[in-house]
Amino acid sequence: MKTLIHIGFSLFFLCSITTANAQTTLGGYTDKSAICADEKQAGVIAGDAVGYLRGIGEGTTTGTAQCFSDPQSCNITLASCIPAAVYGETEPNDNMIAADPLLPNTSFWGQNYSVNDQDWFYTETTTANQNMLITFKSSGDLAGWLITIRDAAGSIFATFDTAVAGEVPTNETDQARTYRVTLGLIGTYYIMIQPKDAKDNFAPYSIAAVLQDSGLGTTQPVVGFVDAEMEPNDVPSKSNPLAPSVSMYGVINLMFNGVVAQGDQFVWGQGEPDWYVFSSPGNEIVDLTFCAKEKCGPGSWFVEIYDEATAKQLEAGQPRETLYPLLAVNTDTGDQEAANYRFGLKNPGLYYMQVFHKRLFSAPCAVYQADVNGDGGYDQYCSCSGGDYSCKTDIVNPAGLIDVPQYPTCPGSTDKSATCLVKCKCDATDVNGAAIGCITDGHDPIQCACPFNLASCDITIPNPQEPVPTLQYPLCPDGTGGGDKATCAVNCQCTEFGGTVEVPDGAITSQYNFTWFSTQLPPNTYDTDAYKEFLNRSNPYQ
């Protein structure tokens, strides 16, 4: 356009010079100013026309390139460029296995037919770190759906609420939301659409996925979002290793393998600890958080930290009450906020962590024993009812049955001894009523005599029968019992105390999660070079 305009102005300038010359030097020439004006106007019009056509061409080319490289600058959205849906979901597609494949750059229509209906789709990346742009359209209200993006393991790493606009702009006329997420690994990724908050949202929708290279050159590690305990891990030697900063999920399993007394009743004892191990460089602060990754369910937990030597002693059978952990706390986090604990580890090495049901301060008796032999030592187990710590109880006579000469019962007596105390009656008569003299009262009567012609008296007589060998129990160690009594009364004493754990109301257990942070920061500033340097600074007050 500039060239043509220059031509027009040149003609105008030429015409002006010619006219001036004619008027000043050749005054007899005819006035040609009208002719020059017409030529000037014609040149301007011609220049404008050609410039307009050139501007349209160059402007269209430049504008097209700009809109192609930056659609937003031209108010062009991705949602407006995706063709209308020509394919639909195929029910059932309510899980990863039955998911519908999404063709690239193609809309699929779908509909949630109930509050529990989930629509699953999948796409596959061809290179690492590709961006996936998801365009969701609906002719009605866009609110009411949740879109989750999952990897091939089913882990959720992105969630979008269709009530909220996406990072990629859309126009109101699009009736759409466009969301973007970067997919780190090559493989299959799943898109799941469901009604939000169990809302009766049955409006049709369409979904489209576009994949584009991001140019990001980093490598995504193959790891999970969290770690989970692996059973059995109920002793230190079977501990699960801990990775710093990675949340660990676990659960204290309910046990039904043995009963314990609880008052006059019995309950199933609960005692399934979870053990974890961490390798520390030493001289560091550990930051331990419970229920920070996710709110824990009902219940609280008893947490202990041991060094390697003490953990081995515990596993070898040394009573817990004789050992000292580095840390012992009840988290008391059930249905509450997260709990945070910081403690120092001095020496490098392995440190073991035990998680258990919350432990109470009550100490019921776990083991009762009796001193049967009377030698001051405990040599037989026993029990006390009602939870008492000591009681009198009957135990089986520790000595076996022995042969003991035993007299039969004396006539007219229950005594089984060499002499017997019997009653002698002197007023006995025969069947005809005639007096028969003095005889012993009771079974197997024999002749006897009462002094002073008494009608009856108590007398001692020798047992008329010979003793016979009879199996009997000897006397108990304390001198009691014996004979035909098989038990001995002994003192039953509590010799070992147990613990009481607390499980949530309703006899349930809940999953917990914790995160172990290895800070590698010294636990005590006093032992650092920085503190020594501080002491060596000049101080006018010293």
The reply to whether 63 and 132 lie within a common domain is no
Residue 452 lies in a domain: yes
Residue 111 lies in a domain: yes
CB 486 within 8 A of CB 474: no
At residue 470, the 3 state secondary structure works out as strand
Residue 533 lies in a domain: no
Residue 238 lies in a domain: yes
The reply to whether 237 and 330 lie within a common domain is yes
Burial level of 288, CB count in 10 A (0-12/13-18/19+)? buried
Residue 538 lies in a domain: no
Q: Which of 155, 180, 213 is the last residue of a domain?
A: 213
Rounded CA gap, 158 and 256, in Å?
Answer: 41
Residue 159 lies in a domain: yes
- CATH number for the domain that contains residue 157: 2.60.120.380
DSSP string, 99-123: PEEPPTT--EEE---STT--EEEEE
Six token digits for residue 328: 């012992």
The reply to whether 195 and 209 lie within a common domain is yes
Tell me the three-class secondary structure of 390-455, residue by residue.
EEEEEEECCCCCEEEEECCCCCCCCCCCCEEEEEEEEEEECCCCCEEEEEECCCCCCECCCHHHCC
Residue type (1 letter), 320 = R
Nearest alpha carbon to residue 402 among 317, 306, 469: 469
Q: Helix 33-69 vs helix 2-24: angle between axes, to the nearest 10 degrees?
A: 170
The reply to whether 355 and 287 lie within a common domain is yes
**Cα torsion at 313, 316, 318, 323 (round to 10°)?**
20
Residue 542 lies in a domain: no
The reported pLDDT for the residue numbered 297 is 84
Report the domain count for the chain. 5
Residue 220 lies in a domain: no
What is the pLDDT tens value at each position of the chain, 542 positions in all? Answer: 333 333 333 333 333 333 344 334 434 545 556 667 777 677 777 777 777 777 776 666 666 666 656 565 665 555 555 656 678 888 899 999 999 999 888 888 888 988 889 999 999 999 999 999 999 988 878 888 999 999 998 989 899 999 898 877 777 666 788 999 999 999 999 999 999 876 667 888 999 999 999 989 898 888 888 999 999 999 999 999 999 999 999 999 999 988 877 767 788 888 899 999 999 999 999 999 999 998 888 888 999 999 999 999 999 999 888 999 999 999 987 667 899 999 999 999 999 999 999 999 988 888 899 887 777 788 888 888 877 899 988 878 877 788 888 888 888 788 888 888 889 999 888 888 888 889 888 888 888 899 888 989 998 888 888 888 888 888 887 777 788 788 888 888 999 888 888 888 888 888 999 999 999 899 999 988 999 999 999 989 87
Q: Which of 12, 42, 74 is the last residue of a domain?
A: 74
The reply to whether 423 and 385 lie within a common domain is no
The reply to whether 178 and 288 lie within a common domain is no
The reply to whether 176 and 302 lie within a common domain is no
Angle (CA) 315-226-193 rounded to 5° is 145
Rounded CA gap, 50 and 21, in Å?
Answer: 32
The reply to whether 347 and 390 lie within a common domain is no
The reply to whether 505 and 356 lie within a common domain is yes
CB 121 within 8 A of CB 136: no
**Beta pairing partners, 487:** 396
Residue type (1 letter), 278 = F
DSSP string, 127-172: STTEEEEEEEE-SS-S-SEEEEEE-TT--EEEEEETTS--SB---G
The reply to whether 350 and 240 lie within a common domain is yes
Backbone angles phi, psi at 116, to 5 degrees: -100, 0
Q: Which residues, 6+ apart, have CB-to-CB distance to 131 below 8 Å?
A: 180, 181, 182, 183, 211, 212, 213, 214
The reply to whether 22 and 123 lie within a common domain is no
Print the domain residue range for 513.
Answer: 227-364+499-526
The reply to whether 382 and 411 lie within a common domain is no
The reported pLDDT for the residue numbered 84 is 66
